Amino acid sequence: MKIVDLSKPIQFNKKDPWFMRVKIKHKSHKKAKWLIRLLGLPFKLFPKGFEGWADDTIEKMGVHSTTHIDAPWHYSPTVAGKKAKTIDEVPLDWCYGEGLVIDMEHKQDFDPITVADIETFLLKNQLEIKEGMIVLIKTGRDKFNGTENFHKIGTGMSAEATHYLIDKGIKVMGIDSWGWDLPLPHLMEKAKETGNSELFWEAHLVGQEKEYCHMEQLVNLGALPYQGFKVAVFPLKIVGASAAPARVVAMFDSVSNDN
């Protein structure tokens, strides 16, 4: 079995915008050694070669700061009039299944992904979306992950394309861009320019009507075939949260190069 890691490293990056920065404090083995001494164990009774243990504290990390899966609660407090699920309420059977890559790397920045784009790709590659799949949208923008402009560039899903996937029976989908929609700064600017309130966050807000989850900031989708693999995306069980970091991985028995 081959396993491909689709998750970005969790680490401090000074180029991340302030709202994405992660801060982790690494504690040396020696600090734990002195802690054990203060708790009452004499040094002479320490095991031979014992230097204490390493420890780490996440001092700052938003649940959307790294590779993560958004819960329905992120998009709206309700879905079709009922309370939206928080991340700890998302069924785990949504989070493992047959994977499918939809290659949209040809799409230009700020050009939304449409139903026609998806159907053209599926037809060209003789692929089919099946209920319960985990669909991964490859834009190639993960190469900018960790750069200052990552959240400002790229393509993204339209509302109609998001509806399309949900109506095909897809509960979990993901993208290797910063966000699921077109870049947030671009959407804000276009909304102000046009006065059209329907432009902002249109794909996310599909979640007001239909229940689904999406992943953001995936990496390495280019290492996958278009089909023939499984995806696991189990989020941290953070009670009441709108999202959670996840170690997203793809697993397949043999390497077929359909793409």
User: pLDDT by residue (tens digit) across 61-108?
Assistant: 999 999 999 999 999 999 999 999 999 999 999 999 999 999 999 999
Rounded Cα–Cα distance for residues 59 and 85 (Å): 27
Q: Quick check: 50 pLDDT over 60?
A: yes
Please say if the pLDDT value at position 258 is more than 70: no
pLDDT(44) > 90: no
**Alpha helices by DSSP H, the chain:** 29-38, 72-75, 115-124, 159-167, 184-194
* Distance separating alpha carbons of residues 189 and 207, to the nearest angstrom: 23
pLDDT over 90 at 31, yes or no: no
Beta bridge partners of 174: 136, 215
**Tokens matching residue 85:** 């699920």
Other Cβ atoms closer than 10 A to 18: 5
> Mean per-residue pLDDT for 122-139?
98
Min mean pLDDT across 29-38, 123-132, 215-224 is at 29-38
Closest to 86 (Cα-Cα) out of 239, 245, 246: 239
- All structural domains of the chain, each given as residue ranges with its CATH number in brackets, are 5-9+62-252 (3.50.30.50), 23-60 (no CATH)
Provide the pLDDT confidence category of residue 6 given band limits of 50, 70 and 90. Answer: very high
pLDDT of residue 254: 62
Q: Is the pLDDT of residue 57 over 80?
A: yes
- Widest Cα–Cα separation across the chain: 74
**pLDDT at position 76, please?**
97
The mean pLDDT of the chain is 94
Lookup: tokens for 238: 């953070």
When pLDDT is cut at 50, 70 and 90, the band that residue 142 belongs to is very high
Span 28-45, mean pLDDT? Answer: 85
pLDDT in tens, 173-182: 999 999 999 9
DSSP state of 108: P
Kindly provide the b/e burial profile for residues 201-228, where b requires at least 16 CB atoms within 10 angstroms of the residue's own CB: bbbbebbebbbbbbbbbbbbbeebbbbe
Query: What is the pLDDT confidence band of residue 220, given thresholds at 50, 70 and 90?
Result: very high
